[in-house]
Structure 1
Amino acid sequence: MQSFDENDIVFIKSLEVHTIIGIYDWEQETKQKLLIDIEASHDNTVPAKTDNIEDAVDYEFISTSIVKLFQNTKYQLIETVAEVCANWILTHTKSKTVKITVSKPDAISAAMNVGVQIARSKINKN
């Protein structure tokens, strides 16, 4: 398992995404709500000094991009959604590590929420 030990975090809580998700036939016919929590590491001392968005992890860019990413997709598992989300963030932002929680609040009537959580990091290619 990869560690998630960065001190500075940019986070997004309960990003609402509507997508086709589920293992049952009826779930593949209509969009369902997912809630995505994102914690992305980034050395925030630089943007704090420069006060420039170019030096920061832009949570608006991440939020709108993730919502668009899942608008026209079909997946069976929220585990897949979590991996796709983590890979996108690690590829398109300056974050070196990311923690993703994907919740499917309407999946189990007897439970308030169900979901998965993953932590991923960029592989050092040097």
Structure 2
Amino acid sequence: MDKIFLHGMKAETLIGVYDWERGQPQTLLLDLVVGVPEKSGAGDDINGTIHYADACAAVRASLKNQRFLLLEALAEHIADLMFSDFGAQWVRVKIVKPGILPDVREVGVEIERSIN
């Protein structure tokens, strides 16, 4: 399977279980790996693959309009976005929430989903 990836993408959203977490948007770090049609580069045409900038912009725009309690729900939302808006075949979403716990550098989740 051919893949594109965006590693270390920053995005802001309101997220958290506790009220103090949802007081203002938090910056999250995302790693997104997306399965594209095999040999998508054979034709050297951007229309045969998923455009990195478009995927990044879509994720950021979507998160600005959303509110989440759990990182897991946020990861599912991003996976669904890649399937519905970009025709992805497979996706891995990793979300890191840095500095939220004392003496813990980062917490996060990682999911993999595919169209079957």
Deviation of residue 94 (structure 1)?
2.8
Query: Which segments of 5 or more consecutive residues in structure 1 lack a partner in the other structure?
Result: 1-6
Alignment of 1:45-64 (within 5 A): 45-46=39-40, 48-64=41-57
Report the Cα distance in structure 2 between the residues aligned to 1:33 and 1:121, rounded to whole angstroms. 27
> Is 1:34 equivalent to 2:28 in the alignment?
yes
Deviation of residue 93 (structure 1)?
1.3
Over aligned residues, Cα RMSD in angstroms? 1.2
TM (norm. structure 1) is 0.86
Deviation of residue 119 (structure 1)?
0.4
Per-residue CA deviations over 1:25-60 (Å, capped at 9, x if unaligned) read 1112111111111111123523x2211100011111
> Is 1:101 equivalent to 2:94 in the alignment?
yes
2:74 aligned to 63, 81, 84, which one?
Answer: 81
8 Å CA contact 1:44–1:56 kept in 2: the answer is no
Identify, as 1 or 2, the structure richer in strand.
Answer: 2
Matched length: 116
Q: Deviation above 3 Å: which 4+ runs of structure 1?
A: none
Name the % identity.
27
Alignment of 1:59-74 (within 5 A): 59-74=52-67
TM (norm. structure 2) is 0.93
8 Å CA contact 1:17–1:36 kept in 2: the answer is yes
SS in 2 for 1:45: coil
Query: Which segments of 5 or more consecutive residues in structure 2 lack a partner in the other structure?
Result: none
